[in-house]
Amino acid sequence: MAESNEEGDVMVVNVSGTSSTVLSATFGFSESIRWDPTMSVDWGKETPSPQCLMRIKRDMMSIYNEPPPGMFIVPDESDMTLIHALLTGSFDTPYEGGFFYLLIRCPPDYPIRPPRERNPGDSARYNQIIKHETLRVAVCDMLEGNTGDSRNCPQPLRDIMEKSFPEFYDYYESCAKANLHLTKQPMMDPFGERRGKFDYTSILQRLQNIKAKLENKRPFPVEEAESQSDSSDSS
């Protein structure tokens, strides 16, 4: 059973199997432990100890004060032991630009026992399939908000996704356009299992629709808004 060191640990979170995202945090759960925090009936019968709540507060403040690259967290509004996290896929990996929503639950005796974590993202293992599913699931589905996981994502984390989308858009679009020739071809892993068909044509259209929708919400890019503010201040 994994334990959190009172002096602070290093948590390595694998986004759908890649070890490229290393997050400096203090929760200390083992990535090999995959329990569903929403089904923690055993923990629901126990009351969190004062030490547990104090440690959660301290660990969250540690993340707020020194946030790991590509990691954002917010506490649950009704349960302090539940923590919502948003990870962005690391550069130069098939997960680049993806938004991966995690739900973390701390046990009543935290940090003696490690938290439980659920990753609702796609589990494909292979690069070409991962690229397609990252764009389809971890970008389009998350931004469109049409799936259960994206709807459950707290608004502060949704705001981060919407602000980050324009920064990644050129990459999204170039990736989709470069793979249009794969559309309608079957996605098959090295073991011969079929995983549906590539549909970069649809993904490209969805990306463009999301871009247009966000531009309507934010008429001016950040740089343009700042330049206008500077010019008005100087006049």
74 vs 207: which has the higher pLDDT? 207
Find the helix or strand (DSSP H, E) in which 83 lies: strand 82-88
pLDDT of residue 118: 66
pLDDT of residue 10: 31
pLDDT of residue 11: 32
- Give the pLDDT band of residue 215 (cuts 50, 70, 90): very high
Across 22-26, 95-99, 156-160, least confident range: 22-26
pLDDT exceeds 50 at position 225 = no
What is the overall mean pLDDT for the chain? 75
Architecture label for domain 50-117:
Roll (3.10)
User: Between the ranges 2-6, 149-153, 225-229, where is the mean pLDDT highest?
Assistant: 149-153
Among 161, 158, 156, CA closest to 88: 161
pLDDT of residue 219: 57
Query: Three-class SS of residue 188?
Result: strand
Average confidence (pLDDT) over 28-40: 54
Q: Where are the domains of the chain?
A: 50-117, 122-216
Do strands 99-105 and 71-75 pair parallel, antiparallel, or not at all (unpaired)?
Answer: unpaired
Instruction: Write down the pTM of the prediction.
Output: 0.61
- Give the pLDDT band of residue 40 (cuts 50, 70, 90): confident
Q: What percent of the chain has pLDDT over 90?
A: 34
pLDDT of residue 92: 78
Average confidence (pLDDT) over 220-234: 50
Q: In angstroms, rounded to a whole number, what is the distance separating the alpha carbons of residues 68 and 21? A: 10
Give pLDDT tens digits for 99-155. 888 888 899 999 888 888 765 443 433 578 888 988 999 999 999 987 777 788 899
Give pLDDT tens digits for 142-199. 999 877 777 888 999 999 999 999 999 999 999 999 999 999 998 875 545 567 899 9
Q: In angstroms, rounded to a whole number, what is the distance separating the alpha carbons of residues 89 and 160? A: 14
Contact 21, 132 (CB under 8 A): no
Q: State both tokens at 22.
A: 């290393």
Q: What percent of the chain has pLDDT over 70?
A: 70
pLDDT exceeds 70 at position 50 = yes
